[in-house]
Amino acid sequence: MKNNNNTQLSVLHKLFSYFEELDTIENNRFQKTQYHHNRYEDVDIEIDIKYDIEAEPWEESILAEISNIYEIAKEQNIYFFDCPFKTYENYFESRKNKFFQEYIDATELDFLLSELDYFSKPASNRIFTFKNKVYYYGSYFIPDKKYNLSLKRKLEFLNKKLLKYNRAIDFSFLEPKSLYKTGVSVVEEKTIREDQNNQDKFNSKINKSFNKSTFYELIPDKKRQEYTLKILEDLSITSNGKFNLSTKRKGALRGVVEALRNHNIIPNLSLEKLNYAIASEIQMPLKSKLDWSKTSDDYYCKADIYIKENSFNR
């Protein structure tokens, strides 16, 4: 097994070198913006654009290398979120054993549902780990057909096992019209069609409520409105009230909203609902859910520091 690990590390060496280069750029970005914040200075949008330009070729190199690794993952038995199905199948028992070691009272159904939850959160689980450092690639990874087919095979594999418990996966989220949906839902096998019809109606109502719920409706208190808009401005997410970052850094909004919610400055509502309402207010195009990303994590930390240094006066 040790030799196998060495072989895998050799194959992954180039990928990790790209991750380290990108990590250096992101750390430089954070230090630069933090320097300005500590001096109570505005962060010029050109600084953010500069680092986006520096990061882009490394992100492209990472995606190209992941594609190469995908091609040899079956032969080298390299596991990662988007690996081919055969590799996942090879790791299935070891994943299950590890789950049972951690949750001693778990059942096979618990494990299967845990695997579905894992595949429901690609942004959080598209990672590679090297020397105790975790590198995320989900924020700039757009899966093409080969990755989607691999995901489908994995889910079909899990679905066969779920049938023993009268459960089945709803595969509608894999349809082209649902590319931006991220949830994998499980229903009772005997009521799949009925449940799907009900779910479609429910989703329709939710989508309508997102469109109808404005920033001022969700956050009716004027002081909270002003504070929310000010933190977005002070962290340079907006300029004169309008979204001011590159499209790749939309996750910044999620980080700030999450921090505001955790500090009880804005209502404890659905994060997705809040994101949509605030995005609309600052004219930020948002067609899909904002999943966790390194950008959202960075801005959560920035917002947390900002709120502690600029307390909200109720």
How many whole angstroms separate alpha carbon 8 and alpha carbon 182? 30
Single-letter amino acid code for the residue at 182: T
Percent over 90 (pLDDT), the chain: 42
Q: Please give the structure tokens belonging to residue 65.
A: 């290398």
How many whole angstroms separate alpha carbon 55 and alpha carbon 52? 5
pLDDT at 180 over 80: no
- CA nearest neighbour of 227 among 172, 303, 115: 303
Report how far apart the first and last C-alpha atoms of the chain are (Å, whole number): 59
How many whole angstroms separate alpha carbon 68 and alpha carbon 61? 11
Q: Which residues pair with 243 in a beta bridge?
A: 238
What's the pLDDT tens digit per position in 47-103? 777 888 888 899 999 999 999 999 999 999 999 999 999 999 999 999 999 999 999
Contact by Cβ (8 Å): 198, 191? no
Q: Please give the structure tokens belonging to residue 126.
A: 């598209």
Alpha carbon distances (Å) from 75 to 4, 62, 231, 293: 11, 20, 50, 30
pLDDT band at 314 (very low <50, low <70, confident <90, very high): low
Contact by Cβ (8 Å): 60, 15? no
- CA nearest neighbour of 298 among 80, 41, 37, 11: 37
Handedness of CA 69, 73, 76, 77 (dihedral sign): positive
- CA nearest neighbour of 284 among 224, 241, 255: 241
- CA nearest neighbour of 135 among 58, 219, 206: 58
Contact by Cβ (8 Å): 242, 283? yes
What's the pLDDT tens digit per position in 260-310? 999 999 988 888 889 988 998 998 888 777 888 888 888 998 998 999 989
How many whole angstroms separate alpha carbon 111 and alpha carbon 93? 11
Residues in the chain: 314
Single-letter amino acid code for the residue at 300: Y
176 or 9, which is more confident: 9
pLDDT band at 39 (very low <50, low <70, confident <90, very high): low
